[in-house]
Amino acid sequence: MNSVTGSFDDAVRSISNARVRGIACALPRTVAEVADLNEGFGEENVAKIMSSTGIERRHIVQDECTSDLCVAAAQRLLDDLDVDRASIDTLIFVSQTPDYTLPATACTLQRRLGLPTTTAALDVGMGCSGYVYGLWMASALIAGGGSRRVLLLVGDTISKLVAPADRSVAALFGDAGSATLVEYDATAAAAPFVLGTDGRGEKNLIVPGGAFRDRAGADVSTSETDVRGPLDLYMNGAEIFAFTLARVPALIRALEKCADEQRKPIDKYVFHQANRFMLEHLSKKAKLAPEKVVLNLQNVGNTSSASIPLALSLDASDGGSTLQGQYMLAGFGVGYSWAGCIVDLDSTWISPLTLVGTDSNEA
């Protein structure tokens, strides 16, 4: 069952009969230390960046693509859960760093994972809010009867878009891929979702060139001499921060109201792992108990769309275990776009992290 209630600003979309059975994540084998940026940015500046962001190192791809990370995560998850691949009827790939302009990366993932040709496969071009958007899509398809078992693959390799000399982003972004199995369960309770969009934030987090509006990369509006080009990522950090503090607390309140009505306390809050400074301010403004807010980016950085499943995986110690409790998940940023939900993750399997690299057998 799928219903929408509430005002325009906090409309809650409630979806039943969909269960998150398991999650797996994969990281590139190569690790980049933030301290290695001392020579270019200065030791004092780098120390300030690490103190503010809470990031000390990131996992960075070499020749791998997002699809390679997601394949490794999916293979691990399906093997751990002993899932018959023929039973998967839908594959959703959420990323802003696909393999190609065309075809859809989801099509190549269907082949690489050995899924049946009856599988519906599609790409969704979302970033920071992408994981929750993907869960919403998968759950809605299941609740509506269009799917029974959905493999949700979410990840990004944003490091490929970062100009090494751009101090605003060079120390932030890591790469990761994830796989989540969502399936029909008649006993699964309703999960509330809140989703929203404000395209006025388009130019505050953007790669302006390289696609079809500026295919040749002639637009230099976000470029600075010797810092970044039109094919590199531009981020206006101050505007993203202001957007987050202005918009996300209302999302949290709307979902907390649902939890109160259902008399199911929220055990943990897992937000998009943007940076420590932002998450601490957001938690304070939303009046959240610090011990309930998951912060897991010290060793992986901001992994864009994969940050929420990766934070869940890291929160489950070394993996190979199950989560327990009610979790609020919320992603926000590029677009502007935001999405939050409360999911029951009792007995949700978390696979151990998989490392992928050109010098390993896992790539």
Which residues are the active-site residues?
128, 272, 302
How far apart CA 341 and CA 251 sit, in angstroms, is 9
Phi-psi region of 207 (alpha: psi -120 to 50; beta: other; left: phi over 0): beta
Q: 268-271 and 31-33: which strand pairing? A: unpaired
The b/e string for 345-363 (b: 16+ C-beta within 10 A; e otherwise) is: beebbbbebbbbbeeeeeb
How far apart CA 44 and CA 47 sit, in angstroms, is 5
Residue 283 corresponds to which tokens in the numbers above? 């938690």
State how far Cα 23 lies from the chain centre.
12
Residue 129 corresponds to which tokens in the numbers above? 């809010």
Residue 186 corresponds to which tokens in the numbers above? 């008649």
Residue 220 corresponds to which tokens in the numbers above? 């230099």
Asked if 173 and 58 touch (Cβ cutoff 8 Å), the reply is yes
* Number of neighbours of residue 209 by Cβ within 10 angstroms: 20
Residue from 97, 226, 239, 240 nearest 164 by CA: 226
Distances in Å between the Cα of 49 and the Cα atoms of 166, 242, 294, 316, 356 are 13, 19, 20, 27, 27
| Residues sharing a CB contact under 8 Å with residue 233, sequence separation 6 or more, in sequence order | 158, 161, 162, 163, 166, 169, 173, 205, 206, 207
Residue from 126, 55, 29 nearest 360 by CA: 29
Angle at CA 218, nearest 5°, toward 215 and 222? 110
